[in-house]
Chain A
Amino acid sequence: MNYHWNWGIFWEMSPEGTGTYFDMLLAGLWWTLATSALAWIIAFSVGSVVGVLRTLRSGWVVMACNAYVELFRNIPILVQLFLWYFVLPEVLPAEMGRWLKTMPNAAFWTGSIGIGLFMSARVAEQVKAGLQALPRGQWMAGTALGLTTAQTYRYILLPTAFRIILPPLTSEMLNTVKNSSVALTIGLMELTAQTRAMQEFSFQVFEAFTAATILYLIVNAVVTLAMRWVEKMAAVPGYTTGH
């Protein structure tokens, strides 16, 4: 191999002039985390609502929510980001479009919302599956006790359903972090984008990508451990969800 290794590169100043190459990667990591966090909040809240609505007994609500899920699941995330970033400002009224285009941190907001909505369809699938995994008797018991539909969901069905789907939700969370890298295509300087920039400035391809790989692995490990802790905290003694 005639590749010149230079692991000291991380402590050299980057041509951006704002710090070392390592600082550059850390800045990228920060955007990755910020984008993932906002996207996950959107995915979780929208996905939970859509997932619950899909289990209701109202034909047109279920149909509308199914259409929502199919729409967001069957278009690649990259194409969805392009639709939000390039197409939306053009089809909106001129005034609003201009506001969208000149918004500060537009890539961050568009990326987070786009990835959030993409992931919300997956969360909705999980929430629906969790609710459907519960025995029908639970719903009936709620009705028999005189609870309204909202109360039945709030106090009986959802607490168990969310516990059942904690493991798949953890992997959706990890998917959100991974998908945040797609936002580099609309100009978000997240971790993968900064790694690319570092490689272009310094020509130290493999050092840069190794560092990014390690940082992603650390984020993965932290999220997994945190969620395992949440699972343990949320576990109901004597009630196993059977996974």
Chain B
Amino acid sequence: MKILLLEPDAELAKTIAAFLSKKHHEVVTVASAQAAIHQADELKPDAVILELAIPEHNGIEFLQEFKSYSDWLDVPIFVYSRIPLADSNLTDQQWQKYGVNTYFYKPTTTLENLERAVSLL
């Protein structure tokens, strides 16, 4: 599966990418929303894993931009964030509107569980 990983923490991005690669996924890592939009064009990802706390733009702005392109409307998004869901101030309906498949809180979600969810697609 081709996964676009938007993770601004370089060390953590390396860890997540290494774990997913071990599970036979192709992973492209980017650190900003702009780079993610650019890479999505080339990679044509099957799924996006997104940290909401990103530099310059926030994750919600990225989602708005990403989902404004018809080609990517059906690409499932997995939020994997250090921000607790309760602090995101978005309703379930809003997450669905942005095409977010599942919201994972980093401190309590292992990479094993994240990978399992992505693989279920």
A and B: real partners?
no
